[in-house]
Amino acid sequence: MISSHVAARRRAGAAVATALLLAACTTGDHRGQGGDPTGPPPTAPSGTPSAGGVPLAECPESGVQIRSTGSDAAMGLRALGLELVNCGGRPYQLNGYPILHVFDEQREPIMLRVVNGAKEITSGFDQPARPVTLAAGERATAVVLWRNLVTDSTVVATNGEYLTVAPAAGRPAVEVDPDGPVDLGNTGRIGVSAWKKADPSTPVPTRPAPPPAPSAVPSSVSPPDGRL
């Protein structure tokens, strides 16, 4: 027969266990219901857009994104659009031309001459460089131009597969899609227009649009001899 002393101790132990169980259930029921926080504060989902519509999670340390916006071709003349977006939180200054480098399929650099203004390649893209200030979310555009032209059958034609673009000398370069081969023939040159500010009333395209069609009339300036 169990003594009254032992029975009392068992009743007391059961009461304590019941109290602990109720306390645990109460704590669990309040998690996530607006009580005291039980973990780190929530963070915004990745890809939250900035004021300019550019996902913050994708903005590089430089504060700008550069991409190609498609190409156009006419009678051997190629035009590739470039777009630079200020995805950072500070104004971004431009004053000049994009810095281009072309690479072959082995990612070896191709020696060529970059023509600022493209006046030796075609007309209509020779507006001089002007200072451009981009607020957060604003954009600048430029156009890369070249001719698929062979003037000497003894010189192997050049085909670039990769293109990198920097906003200016000394700034980080990024690889952009050339939308096909950079088929320079044996001209040994590529042109680029100056950065200009995009119309802020024009929305950021959800699908890249090609640049303005270049003139198909060859430039009157003869190509330089050799390559630099």
Residue 125 pLDDT greater than 90, yes or no: no
Q: Which residue has the higher pLDDT, 210 or 44?
A: 210
Query: What is the C-alpha to C-alpha distance for residues 217 and 213, in angstroms, rounded to an integer?
Result: 12
**What is the rounded CA–CA span in Å between residue 120 and residue 130?**
20
The 10s digit of each residue's pLDDT in 172-181 is 999 999 999 9
At 201 the pLDDT is 62
Report pLDDT for 56: 45
The residue that leads in pLDDT, 140 or 120, is 140
Count: domains in the chain: 2
Mean pLDDT, residues 189-215 taken together: 68
> Could you tell me if residue 221 is inside a domain?
no
pLDDT score of 151 more than 60: yes
Q: Per-residue pLDDT tens for 8-41?
A: 444 544 444 444 333 333 333 323 322 333 333 3
Whether residue 10 sits in one domain with residue 71: no
If asked whether residues 124 and 154 sit together in one domain, one would say yes
At 129 the pLDDT is 94
63 and 35 inside one domain: no
pLDDT digits (tens, 9 = 90+) for 63-118: 999 999 988 877 788 999 999 999 999 999 999 999 999 999 999 999 999 999 88
% of the chain residues with pLDDT over 70: 63
CA atoms within 13 A of residue 5's CA, in its CB half-sphere = 0
Residue 33: its pLDDT value, please? 28
Q: Is residue 30 part of a domain?
A: yes
- How far is Cα of residue 8 from the mean position of the Cα atoms in its chain? 75
The amino acid present at 21, given as its one-letter code, is L
Pairing of strands 162-166, 99-103: antiparallel
226 is a domain residue: no
Q: What is the pLDDT of residue 160?
A: 95
Mark whether 35 and 135 lie in a shared domain: no
Q: How far apart are CA 99 and CA 204, in angstroms?
A: 23
pTM of the model: 0.65
Residue 105 CB burial class (10 angstroms; 0-12, 13-18, ≥19): exposed
Residue 47 in domain:
no
The per-residue pLDDT for 192 is 95
CATH code for the domain of 176: 2.60.40
Same domain, 69 and 18: no
Label residue 156 by pLDDT band (50, 70, 90).
Answer: confident
Confidence of residue 139 (pLDDT cuts 50, 70, 90): very high
Kindly give, in sequence order, each residue whose CB lies less than 8 Å from that of residue 194, ignoring residues fewer than 6 positions away: 96, 97, 116, 117, 127, 128, 129, 130, 142
**Domain with 33 in it:** 1-39
